[in-house]
């Protein structure tokens, strides 16, 4: 990390930013209360969110702190955490999150091998208290988490703070330029900055950051074999085509249901956010009536019912499946013949297509993939994915692929090859981080 002296305009910008956080604190509390109505897990850790208290340390020593805001970042951090624990046995690792689903994912992936906490909002007193309490030897921010006061507090302590798996879309670059007095000193304080792609590195350079490129950590995430086996046990028996709409966002389900024809194929929809499960259930029930099956009706982790579930999904009377569970995306991909990528039909920027490719599932992309622009274009070029203009084309194309076994097999093989060719980011990132950790320890 480079010690940075802010200019007067930069200090003023961060001062106004801090005042905005303090003024907005009651609104943040109201938001947490509102979210907790549908997701009671949002009642956890309010004291931590506002910088008032954290759990005591569960083991001695200064931790390496990794911040992974939610599910996607936590999954991406998995090979990094596993590599760190393998390379430095006994090293204390602290994983912080901003969402309950991120916390739950970290708990499922790592158990008690790592500590977990909620990162406070970016108020000066709160982030300083967080760093005093845990006293990390070094910190690692995942992907796009750039909090000016947090980075400044780390700088004051002389704590190394890296940004890894960094991505910056053209849209995010335009936004960052509008608040450059906040962004520029925060980026300057980070070291190293390790980007996913050359395009991300070039855009970060436009903001004054020198970034190296290591690839995308998500290529190094291997699907849980138990979940893959679970999903394969769910495949309809006797067989029928399964189209998966994966990690859908607000408004996309209605578009897909409107475009879905009368067909023997099964439509499985897995919403991105659990608070929308009931909303999507109502939409699917209005379209499919009693032909809707919910994953929650199977029971948590009830693998023994897999054969009965598969038989039910094979029934001509079952028209749709709602994937209303968390942490089972590999299972949903394993049961599918083709996946329509959520977040890409409406302007949300798309979700992660790498997980589907890693399981050899052909992918249909909508027009909006700016969050994963380079990976999307590379997957299309590799023959693992196809881009369409809208939901109607997505449904038609997915059904064509699902019904054409040779084409589906070719795309699946290309998807596996594409995913395999881009692995190795975790080793390259760890090669940069381990000396940093060792020097600061």
Residues annotated as catalytic are: 73
Distance from first CA to last CA of the chain, Å, rounded?
15
| 175 burial level (CB within 10 Å; 0-12, 13-18, 19+) | exposed
Which of 113, 82, 94 lies closest to 427, judged by CA? 82
Integer angstrom CA distances of residue 207 from 62, 170, 186, 188, 290: 32, 12, 10, 9, 54
Helix/strand/coil (H/E/C) assignment for every residue in the chain: CCCCCCCHHHHHHHHHHHHHHHHHHHHHHHHHHHHHHHCHHHHCCHHHHCCCCCCCCCCCCCCEEEECCCHHHHHHHHHHHHHHHHHCCCCCEEEEECCHHHHHHHHHHHHHHCEEEECCCCCHHHHHHHHHHHCCCEEEEECCCCCHHHHHHHHHHCCCEEEEEECCCHHHHHHHHHCHHHHHHHHHCCCCEEECCHHHHHHHHHCCCCEEECCCHHHHCCCCHHHHHHHHHHCCCCCCCEEEEEEECCCHHHHHHHHCCCCCCEEEEEECCHHHHHHHHHHHHHHHHHHEEEHHHCCCCCHHHHHHHHHHHHCCCCCEEECCCCCCHHHHHHHCCEEEECCCCCCCCCCCCHHHHHCCCCEEECCCCHHHHHHHHHHHHHCCEEECCCHHHHHHHHHHHHCCHHHHHHHHHHHHHHHHHCCCHHHHHHHHHHHHHHHHC
Spatial separation of the C-alpha atoms in residues 116 and 20, rounded to whole Å: 28
Asked if residue 8 has a cis previous peptide bond (ω within 30° of 0), the answer is no
Nearest to 376 by CA among 225, 205, 196: 196
Can you say whether the dihedral through the CA atoms of 12, 65, 71, 26 is positive or negative? negative
């Amino acid at each position: 990390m480079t010690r940075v002296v802010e200019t007067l305009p930069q200090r003023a910008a961060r001062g106004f930013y801090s005042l905005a956080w303090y003024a907005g604190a009651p609104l943040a509390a109201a938001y947490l209360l509102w979210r907790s109505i549908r997701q009671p897990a949002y009642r956890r850790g309010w004291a931590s969110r506002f910088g008032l208290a954290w759990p005591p340390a569960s083991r001695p020593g200064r931790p390496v702190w990794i911040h992974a805001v939610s599910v996607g970042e936590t999954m991406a951090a998995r090979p990094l955490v596993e590599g760190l624990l393998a390379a430095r046995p006994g090293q204390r690792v602290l994983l912080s999150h901003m969402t309950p689903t991120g916390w739950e994912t970290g708990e499922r992936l790592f158990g008690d091998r790592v500590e977990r906490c909620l990162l406070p909002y970016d108020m000066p007193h709160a982030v300083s208290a967080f760093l005093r309490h845990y006293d990390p030897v070094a910190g690692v921010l995942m992907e796009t988490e750039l909090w000016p006061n947090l980075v400044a507090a780390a700088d004051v302590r002389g704590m190394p703070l890296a940004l890894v798996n960094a991505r910056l879309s053209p849209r995010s670059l335009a936004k960052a330029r509008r608040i450059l007095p906040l962004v520029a000193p925060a980026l300057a304080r980070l070291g190293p900055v390790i980007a996913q792609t050359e395009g991300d590195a070039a855009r970060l350079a436009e903001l004054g950051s020198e970034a190296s490129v290591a690839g995308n950590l998500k290529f190094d995430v291997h699907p849980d074999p138990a979940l893959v086996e679970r999903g394969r046990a769910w495949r309809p028996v006797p067989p029928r085509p399964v189209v998966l709409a994966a990690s859908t966002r607000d408004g996309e389900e209605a578009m897909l249901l409107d475009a879905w024809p009368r067909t023997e194929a099964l439509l499985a929809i897995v919403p991105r956010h659990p608070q929308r499960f009931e909303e999507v259930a109502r939409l699917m029930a209005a379209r499919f009536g009693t032909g809707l099956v919910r994953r929650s009706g199977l029971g948590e982790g009830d693998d023994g019912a897999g054969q009965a579930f598969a038989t039910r999904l094979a029934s001509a009377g079952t028209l749709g499946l709602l994937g209303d569970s968390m942490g089972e995306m590999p299972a949903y991909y394993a049961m599918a013949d083709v996946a329509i990528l959520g977040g890409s039909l409406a302007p949300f920027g798309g979700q992660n297509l790498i997980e589907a490719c890693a399981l050899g599932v052909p992918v249909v992309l909508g027009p909006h993939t700016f969050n994963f622009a380079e990976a999307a274009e590379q997957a299309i070029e590799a023959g693992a994915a196809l881009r369409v203009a809208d939901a109607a084309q997505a449904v038609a194309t997915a059904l064509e692929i699902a019904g054409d076994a040779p084409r589906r097999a070719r795309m699946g093989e290309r998807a596996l090859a594409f995913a395999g060719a881009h692995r190795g980011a975790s080793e390259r990132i760890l090669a940069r981080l381990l000396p940093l950790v060792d020097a600061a320890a």
